[in-house]
Structure 1
Amino acid sequence: MNKVITLNSRPVGKPQLSDFKFEEVEMPQMKDGEVLLKTKFVSVDPYLRGRMSDAKSYVPPFELQKAMSSGVVAEVTESKNDQFKVGDFVSGSLEWKELQSVNPEHLTKVDDQIAPLSNYLGILGMTGLTAYLGLTEIGKPQKGETILVSGAAGAVGSVVGQIGKILGCRVVGIAGTDEKVEFLKSEFGYDDAINYNTTENMTKAIAEACPNGVDVYYDNVGGDISDAAHTNINRFGRVIVCGAISTYNETEVPTGPRVEGFLIKKSVLMQGFIVSNYAEKFPEAVKQLAQWLAEGKLKSSETIVEGFDQIPQAFIDLFSGKNTGKMIVKI
């Protein structure tokens, strides 16, 4: 039998293990043109929380009692497609199944000789693309400017800071533990970092860490932290709205300071995005990220949990910050 993880119920607030169901189904039957895939690595990401709710968004919600899905790296174990052979590794959006037979039209071959397979879900995958394209296309940082990153020790944030340093900027990160703060500075080259859990006045702390103000704010969390960041934005600053993990599990619409005033007074650009907005730029972005990785200018940070049955718990752990860098499940 083949293991699969389905959406059992729609979460109210923070997801629980009971919202997922482990099932065993019959082994997949291959059709002409398909490949049989064995799952090797599974990406868990905060955006999946939105798809667990029955709400209109940029991607359809997951269906109840149907398989969950996310970024996956898998190995071809059988092939009825001339473009793929047994032993090839591929990445793409795939279901949470141990084995699955699919048409490989939307899969990408990946090479474990160039980089570890898990990197194709992280720094050479959606994570790296999100960091690079959000920062360069919206933030447009200039040498000598100050970049502030929330969720800085997370998957995207840890890459954003490194790219900022490569581009010659001062980079300040916000994270949730002293260990992560030190890791940002020692491992990723952040110039300074703030532990929001031990800081009483975030507005003041950001001002002290960014004495010349904030030119680019890469926002992964939203909420009170972003309110404090906005107060410190410079004239003509840019706010990149990538994520809002602090609000994903709210059961009511959160309220806070209105942004219109600071946007107008300081002529600030504030733009949300999803990485697929820049799909045509993916090849050149991956090429640049791979080059920096090969040159040692970029480091990949991953928290790897082992075991197919651990996928739901690894996802839930994202909301309490138990990951440093990209959270990945190894099967």
Structure 2
Amino acid sequence: MLLDPVVFPVFIAIVAIVILAIFFHFVPFFLWLSAKVSGVHISLIQLFLMRIRNVPPGVIVPSLIEAHKAGLKNITRDNLEAHYMTGGHVQRVVHALVSASKANIDLPFEKATAIDLAGRDVFEAVQTSVNPKVIDTPPVAAVAKNGIQLIAKARVTVRANIHQLVGGAGEDTILARVGEGIVSSIGSAENHEQVLENPDSISKLVLKKGLDAGTAFEILSIDIADIDVGKNIGATLQIDQANADKNIAQAKAEERRAMAIAAEQEMKAKAQEARAEVIQAEAEVPKALAQALRDGHMGFMDYYKLENLKGDTAMRENIGNLTKDGMKDILK
């Protein structure tokens, strides 16, 4: 079956467009032309093979052009492809290498790719190496020897250490070490007035400690931005200690009072017991007298004499009590 003379040219045009679309997708002709014009030697077959290897030519070719224009001769297509296939950020690495070259910083391609694969922003590291970065520390509270608390804020100027970016500690370690140094320097001061008069003494002492050892930064300066007087920690501790001593003394006094009350109650109980024994003994006296009368060991006259003696004793006791009361009235 022959195609209609009108439909056939349209069909040919559609097929040609599809073929061209496929061709330009797998063979980025315009990227090759851009590289050729820029002086980068790369063939259409290599661009086609990039597509087959799932490496985007739109990333590799512009990076090669940028490196070539910046005069970086040691960067090859294979190196960039290998870095991309290992999960690296090709454009960021090339930007960093160009910036390092312009700033006369020794940064080999292998070192830059290692930094990038370690998860650090190598381009930002180069920028920080050229333009130092300022890190503000949070408020750090420390106590001088006289017990006065000081609250200091510092500004740390750091520069990236390219050779220690892989495996080096980050900003958090720098802040922690600077805070520790501030606490140590304030704590060694005899009084807070010395620190307020010479806040730069803190910076000098902290810088001598070499706090940037093992980190990805080099500390250029530490400046005390602000310092305030806080609480009188020494007085507060003394008050707390005095209150604790008072509470201990009160507890011991309460313990002694409780023991004294217990001893008093025990003595009262013993006195009551003794009175009970006396009453019990007195109750036996009439029985003994009656038994003596029955047995003939005592006569009635002896019993009457005994009763008279008891009555005379009671009368004397009453007279003595009246005399004491009279004397009290006279003294009043």
TM-score range, shorter chain: under 0.3
Q: Which of the two has greater helix per residue? A: 2
Q: Which structure has the bigger radius of gyration? A: 2
> TM-score under structure 2 normalisation?
0.20
> TM-score under structure 1 normalisation?
0.20
Q: Which of the two has greater strand per residue? A: 1
The structure, 1 or 2, with the larger RCO (C-alpha pairs under 8 Å, 6+ apart) is: 1
